[in-house]
């Protein structure tokens, strides 16, 4: 059944229970919690903590659905969301789904040009945006001709938009009962864009329900759980992990900030049991604990049962450090792509912590293989391309038949990720196919070098890229971000790398900040652009 039916169920069964909490640590804590009603809305630009019940969540979704229908939105239309994480985000998302329209979440880091591009590519006709984006939306009013209606989620509404807070209060709170099936289209998500302009990824309602069932199967959420969500809701990762809370009828906290202190305070104050982290955030928490910036004894963490990580390869050294501070934690890592409706197509499993370093085994309802250039399975232990099949696969890249044909073949998604399978059936991510470095005829997989360098006591983050070389074709260059106060030289890194086979040792060491996007992925195109030319002087070239 469509995912919206679970919201209807929760409103009936758990109507008075808290569904969503928003915390903005940049604002001063109030003396009391703002308990939002469907009609009375606290200014989200001022509130420290807000919450809504399942009944209010359902009511808000219905009101927004009816608001859209009253303005001519119909089944099959595309409605874009450009909002920071906030209490309004998910009710708006479900309101759009209840009209039969498709939700088009937009990355809140997009430039004005990228916003215009994605709106046009997706054929969006309605845009919902917040105050953080007014300047960008102002600048493209003349370059988004397909947009006929705009809603503003804030208190100072531009004259070209309608006020969400003003108009929603006049709308019916009854479910509009638009017929929706699992085979109807539900969403258009965008690829992360780390390899150029993003692609529009079309999914059906069946993808959403499969993602929710997958999450619940992997992490066993119950009514007693509380999920802490920090990654952006426009991304499938955060939202599909939250879907486990929807199916279990449990609470979730939207934290608008990622500092170690804010994370630990929220875990303690809100009795959080499940936290999904990106690698940099987990690293920051560990660094803060080791430096004494935060102390575990100041927080209530006994109820915290699960920490899981996704969106990028996880260094085994990081998890080893984590378990030293949190030995009772269950741990999982999740691999997935937006083309596969986000996380969980491969996952480690909380019972398999002895296999840290692997991305895991096929997730609930998924199949995986590793194949060569001829689409034939490779032997275990050999490297090939990871391909996936399951109910969460995208329908296509919207309006791009050529790109679709390149990755969807005979019902399998060709991920572009290089992987290998061990003798126990666990998959290990080796690298992106496009990131493989060929030096002197040898294939070098940057992830392997990155994992090794992250085990160095001075290294906070690292990215390895290939640079052109006249004799070898390419050489491996390591861009290393050092921990604050680290007393480390290039010669120290060179000495550390001597245990690697000679061909795997980075030929250049460059100390710099490693850029990552909001989903935690290293932005290697930026590094290639910055360091791609041979006349750029590295801090050291290793012979």
The residue extents of the domains of the chain are 4-227, 438-541
CA nearest neighbour of 174 among 95, 263, 248 = 95
Residue 311 has pLDDT above 70, yes or no: no
Mean pLDDT score, 164-179: 94
Mean pLDDT score, 382-405: 94
Percent of all residues in the chain with a pLDDT value above 70, rounded to a whole number? 89
509 class by beta-carbon count within 10 Å (0-12 exposed, 13-18 middle, 19+ buried):
buried
Classify domain 438-541 at the CATH class level: alpha beta
Residue 32 has pLDDT above 70, yes or no: no
Digit-coded pLDDT (tens) for 474-483: 788 899 999 8
pLDDT at 405: 96
CATH topology agreement for domains 4-227 and 438-541: no
Residue 30 has pLDDT above 70, yes or no: no
Q: Which two tokens stand for residue 167?
A: 């108009």
Residue with more model confidence, 543 or 29: 29
**Cα angle vertex 402, ends 113, 93, to 5°?**
50
CA nearest neighbour of 210 among 236, 177, 189 = 236
Residue 310 — pLDDT band, cuts 50, 70, 90? confident
Q: Would you say the C-alpha torsion 397, 398, 403, 406 has a positive or negative sign?
A: positive
Query: H-helix or E-strand containing 429?
Result: strand 427-432
Residue with more model confidence, 323 or 318: 323
Residue with more model confidence, 133 or 418: 133
Mean pLDDT score, 166-190: 95
Residue 430 — pLDDT band, cuts 50, 70, 90? confident
Answer yes or no: are the C-beta atoms of 231 and 275 closer than 8 Å. Answer: no
Mean pLDDT score, 243-253: 97
What whole-number distance in Å separates Cα of residue 455 and Cα of residue 451? Answer: 7
CA nearest neighbour of 114 among 236, 208, 234 = 234
Enter the CATH code of domain 4-227.
3.40.50.12780
Residue with more model confidence, 285 or 524: 285
pLDDT at 529: 79
pLDDT at 528: 79
Answer yes or no: are the C-beta atoms of 48 and 40 closer than 8 Å. Answer: no
Residue with more model confidence, 496 or 519: 496
**End-to-end CA separation in angstroms for the chain:** 61
**Residue 480 CA to its chain's centroid (Å):** 24
pLDDT at 297: 93
Per DSSP, 375 falls in state S
What whole-number distance in Å separates Cα of residue 267 and Cα of residue 263? Answer: 6
Digit-coded pLDDT (tens) for 483-493: 888 889 999 99
Beta bridge pairs of residue 267:
none
Residue with more model confidence, 164 or 47: 164
Classified as helix, coil or strand, 30 is: coil
pLDDT at 31: 42
Residue 463 has pLDDT above 60, yes or no: yes
Beta bridge pairs of residue 128:
81, 151
Residue 414 has pLDDT above 50, yes or no: yes
């Amino acid at each position: 059944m469509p995912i919206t039916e679970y919201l209807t169920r929760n409103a009936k069964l758990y109507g008075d229970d808290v569904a969503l909490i928003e915390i903005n640590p940049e604002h001063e804590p109030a003396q009391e919690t703002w308990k939002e009603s469907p009609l009375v809305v606290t200014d989200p630009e001022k509130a420290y903590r807000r919450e809504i019940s399942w009944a209010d969540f359902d009511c808000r979704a219905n009101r927004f659905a009816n608001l859209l229908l009253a303005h001519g939105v119909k089944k099959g239309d595309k409605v874009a969301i450009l909002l920071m994480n906030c209490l309004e985000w998910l009710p708006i998302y479900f309101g759009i789904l209840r009209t039969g329209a498709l939700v088009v979440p937009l990355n809140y880091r997009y430039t004005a040009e990228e916003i215009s591009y994605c709106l046009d590519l997706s054929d969006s006709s309605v845009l919902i945006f917040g105050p953080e984006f007014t300047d960008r939306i102002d600048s493209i009013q003349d370059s988004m001709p397909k947009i006929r209606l705009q809603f503003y989620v804030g208190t100072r509404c531009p004259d070209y938009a309608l006020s969400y807070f003003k108009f929603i209060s006049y709308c019916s709170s009854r479910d509009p009962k638009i017929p929706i099936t699992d085979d109807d289209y539900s969403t258009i998500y965008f690829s992360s864009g780390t390899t150029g302009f993003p692609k529009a990824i079309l999914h059906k309602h069946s993808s959403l329900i499969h993602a929710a069932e997958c999450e619940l199967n992997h992490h066993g959420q119950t009514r007693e759980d509380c999920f802490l969500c920090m990654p952006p809701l426009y991304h499938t990762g955060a939202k599909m992990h939250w879907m486990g809370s929807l199916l279990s009828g449990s609470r979730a906290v939207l934290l608008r900030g990622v500092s170690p202190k804010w994370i630990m305070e929220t875990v303690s104050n809100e009795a959080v049991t499940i936290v999904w982290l990106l690698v940099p955030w987990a690293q920051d928490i560990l660094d803060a604990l080791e430096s004494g910036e935060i102390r575990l004894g100041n927080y209530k963490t006994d109820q915290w049962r699960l920490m899981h990580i996704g969106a990028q390869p996880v260094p085994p050294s990081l998890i080893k450090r984590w378990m030293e501070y949190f030995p009772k934690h269950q741990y999982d890592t999740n691999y997935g792509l937006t083309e596969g409706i986000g996380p969980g197509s491969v996952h480690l499993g909380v019972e398999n912590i002895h296999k840290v370093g692997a991305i895991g085994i096929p997730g609930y309802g998924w199949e995986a293989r590793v194949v060569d250039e001829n689409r034939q399975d490779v032997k275990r232990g050999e490297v090939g391309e990871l391909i996936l099949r399951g109910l969460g696969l995208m329908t296509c890249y919207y309006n791009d038949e050529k790109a679709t044909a390149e990755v969807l073949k005979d019902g399998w998604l060709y991920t572009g990720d290089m992987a290998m399978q061990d003798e126990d059936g666990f998959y290990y991510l080796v690298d992106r196919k496009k990131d493989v470095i060929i030096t002197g005829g040898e294939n070098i997989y940057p992830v392997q070098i990155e994992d090794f360098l992250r085990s160095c006591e001075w290294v906070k983050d690292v990215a390895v890229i290939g640079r052109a070389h006249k004799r070898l074709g390419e050489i491996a260059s390591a861009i290393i971000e050092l921990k604050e106060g680290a007393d480390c030289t290039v010669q120290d890194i060179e000495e550390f790398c001597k245990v690697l086979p000679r061909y795997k040792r980075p030929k250049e060491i460059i100390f710099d900040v490693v850029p990552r996007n909001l989903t935690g992925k290293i932005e290697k195109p930026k590094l290639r652009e910055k360091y791609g030319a041979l006349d750029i002087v590295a801090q050291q070239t290793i012979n």
